[in-house]
């Protein structure tokens, strides 16, 4: 472990450390971690993991710098984790280096928590990072209080995907390949400034060789193999045991995969948030909306009792019931809180996908007897 720098920056970031962390007795190499805030024994930290072609700044900075996010930052420490060789200024990984698999990256996280003294976390991941955090939660449920998974794909690439990837590698540059992974066709065609910004970042900030290895590792992932519990069926099926918020923009290339993931998870613990008029990176495209959803999600677990949620409340009906729970709570109690109230506003034929739309304030409503998964459209 090498300590790089430490500084006191602002009232919202009372203590910042940036460390390169070596996982001991594991073949995972160096994991770059940025810790913000002071861990508390009775509260989890927010643990983030980025997508391919990105690092913690390009993936999460628009979200965590948003003014509405400061309510959360003041209360919960944040630990950003970057995959080997993906941080700014990273040197090219050695020729003999074998890049870790997605499974190995997920197994590096317990060492990160131990190093920083974190008892539990709320995971926030995008794309490859969402997959890694989901696998981490499956293998270490006692360490994860909740998950916010953006653009998660729980499936392995099939044969046709593998062939398509090979053709893409031959005909496209790495930045262009990553762009099509992150953004939808509509965004690429119409939002030229956003695409140019991220293409420039991938080209000039990221180490191309390292990005290629991380991307290849993600493409070689195995399926999560989760199974939706059936009432009266096997109670020991493999599934996420924590409260989970799945997020995708309507124009995201990952939207169908996210819907598929929702269909495979425990319906009493899972909420699906589809963001209308939003592309591949909701945390960049609509940070205010995602922050509101994130606040309600955390509030439902009892860690946020007085968040300022005026934007969202102004859009809710007078019949909405908002509840908060103060202070620490037992882990068993965590997963019984905050399940949405379904309000259908459309048909499957109109949307072209199998789902139910409900108002976003339902994330904050408590319904412990809910028997089907919740999907939110905003």
- Tell me if 168 is assigned to some domain: yes
List pLDDT tens digits, range 88-111. 989 999 988 899 999 999 999 999
Q: Report the pLDDT value the prediction gives residue 157, as an integer from 0 to 100.
A: 75
Q: Which tops the pLDDT comparison, 13 or 87?
A: 87
pLDDT over 60 at 179, yes or no: yes
Q: What tokens does 316 get?
A: 């809710």
- Tell me if 323 is assigned to some domain: no
Which own/partner pairs from 159-167 qualify as long-range (CB within 8 Å, at least 24 positions apart)?
161/219, 162/219, 165/219
Helix ranges (H only) for the chain are: 56-64, 70-73, 102-116, 128-139, 159-171, 174-182, 185-190, 192-204, 208-219, 255-264, 282-285, 287-300, 310-313, 331-334, 348-351
- Tell me if 312 is assigned to some domain: no
pTM here is 0.79
353, 347, 325: which is closest to 243 by C-alpha?
Answer: 325
- Tell me if 371 is assigned to some domain: no
Q: Tell me the average pLDDT across 242-270.
A: 95
pLDDT over 80 at 357, yes or no: no
**In the structure, what pLDDT confidence band is assigned to residue 362 with cuts at 50, 70 and 90?**
very low
Domain total of the chain: 1
Q: Tell me the average pLDDT across 156-172.
A: 61
User: Distance between CA atoms of 315 and 158, rounded to whole angstroms?
Assistant: 42
The overall average pLDDT reported for the chain is 77
pLDDT over 60 at 62, yes or no: yes
Q: What tokens does 199 get?
A: 């293409």
Q: Calculate the CA 131 to chain-centre distance.
A: 8
Q: Which tops the pLDDT comparison, 263 or 234?
A: 263
- Tell me if 338 is assigned to some domain: no
Q: Report the pLDDT value the prediction gives residue 162, as an integer from 0 to 100.
A: 56
- Tell me if 308 is assigned to some domain: no
pLDDT over 50 at 134, yes or no: yes
User: Distance between CA atoms of 327 and 301, rounded to whole angstroms?
Assistant: 10
List pLDDT tens digits, range 18-43. 555 655 445 666 788 999 888 888 89
- Tell me if 212 is assigned to some domain: yes
Say if residues 257 and 156 touch (Cβ distance below 8 Å). no
pLDDT over 60 at 86, yes or no: yes
Q: Report the pLDDT value the prediction gives residue 259, as an integer from 0 to 100.
A: 96
- Tell me if 13 is assigned to some domain: no
pLDDT over 90 at 373, yes or no: no
CATH of the domain at 89: 3.40.50.1820
78, 60, 206, 29: which is closest to 129 by C-alpha?
Answer: 60
Q: Report the pLDDT value the prediction gives residue 168, as an integer from 0 to 100.
A: 56
List pLDDT tens digits, range 290-326. 999 999 999 998 887 754 444 445 443 332 223 232 3
**In the structure, what pLDDT confidence band is assigned to residue 209 with cuts at 50, 70 and 90?**
very high
Residues sharing a CB contact under 8 Å with residue 368, sequence separation 6 or more, in sequence order: 336, 337, 339
* Domain carrying residue 273: 19-301
N-to-C CA span, the chain: 43
**In the structure, what pLDDT confidence band is assigned to residue 60 with cuts at 50, 70 and 90?**
very high
Q: Which tops the pLDDT comparison, 124 or 30?
A: 124
Q: Tell me the average pLDDT across 181-206.
A: 94
| Number of residues that this document lists for the chain | 378
Q: Report the pLDDT value the prediction gives residue 230, as an integer from 0 to 100.
A: 79
Q: Report the pLDDT value the prediction gives residue 320, as an integer from 0 to 100.
A: 29
């Amino acid at each position: 472990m090498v300590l790089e720098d430490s500084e006191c920056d602002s009232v919202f970031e009372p203590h910042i450390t940036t460390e390169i962390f070596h996982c001991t007795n594991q073949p995972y190499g160096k994991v770059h971690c940025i810790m913000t805030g002071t861990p508390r024994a009775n509260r989890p930290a927010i643990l983030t993991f980025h997508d391919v072609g990105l690092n913690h700044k390009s993936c999460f900075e628009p979200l965590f710098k948003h003014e509405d996010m400061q309510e959360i930052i003041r209360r919960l420490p944040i630990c950003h984790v970057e995959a080997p060789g993906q941080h700014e200024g990273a040197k090219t990984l050695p020729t003999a280096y074998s890049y870790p698999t997605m499974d190995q990256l997920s197994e590096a996280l317990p060492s990160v928590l131990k190093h920083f003294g974190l008892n539990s976390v709320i995971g926030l991941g995008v794309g490859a990072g969402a997959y890694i955090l989901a696998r981490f939660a499956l293998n270490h449920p006692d360490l994860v209080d909740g998950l916010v998974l953006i653009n998660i794909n729980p499936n392995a690439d099939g044969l046709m995907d593998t062939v398509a990837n090979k053709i893409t590698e031959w005909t496209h540059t790495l930045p262009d390949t990553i762009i099509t992974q992150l953004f939808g066709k509509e965004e690429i065609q119409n939002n030229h400034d956003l695409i140019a910004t991220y293409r420039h970042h991938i080209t000039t900030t990221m180490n191309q060789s390292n990005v290629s290895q991380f991307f290849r590792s993600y493409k070689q992932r195995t399926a999560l193999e989760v199974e939706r519990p059936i009432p009266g069926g096997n109670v020991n099926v493999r599934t996420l045991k924590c409260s989970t918020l799945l997020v995708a923009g309507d124009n995201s290339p990952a939207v169908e995969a996210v819907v598929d993931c929702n269909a495979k998870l425990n319906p009493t613990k899972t909420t699906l948030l589809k963001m209308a008029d939003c592309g591949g990176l909701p945390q960049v495209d609509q940070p205010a909306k995602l922050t509101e959803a994130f606040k309600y999600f955390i509030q439902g677990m009892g860690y946020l009792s007085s968040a300022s949620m005026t934007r969202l409340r102004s859009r809710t009906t007078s019949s909405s019931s908002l509840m908060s729970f103060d202070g620490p709570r037992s882990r068993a109690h965590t997963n019984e809180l905050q399940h949405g109230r379904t309000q259908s506003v459309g048909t499957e034929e109109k949307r072209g996908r199998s789902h139910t739309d409900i108002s976003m304030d339902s994330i904050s409503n408590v319904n412990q007897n809910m028997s089907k998964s919740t999907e939110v459209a905003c």
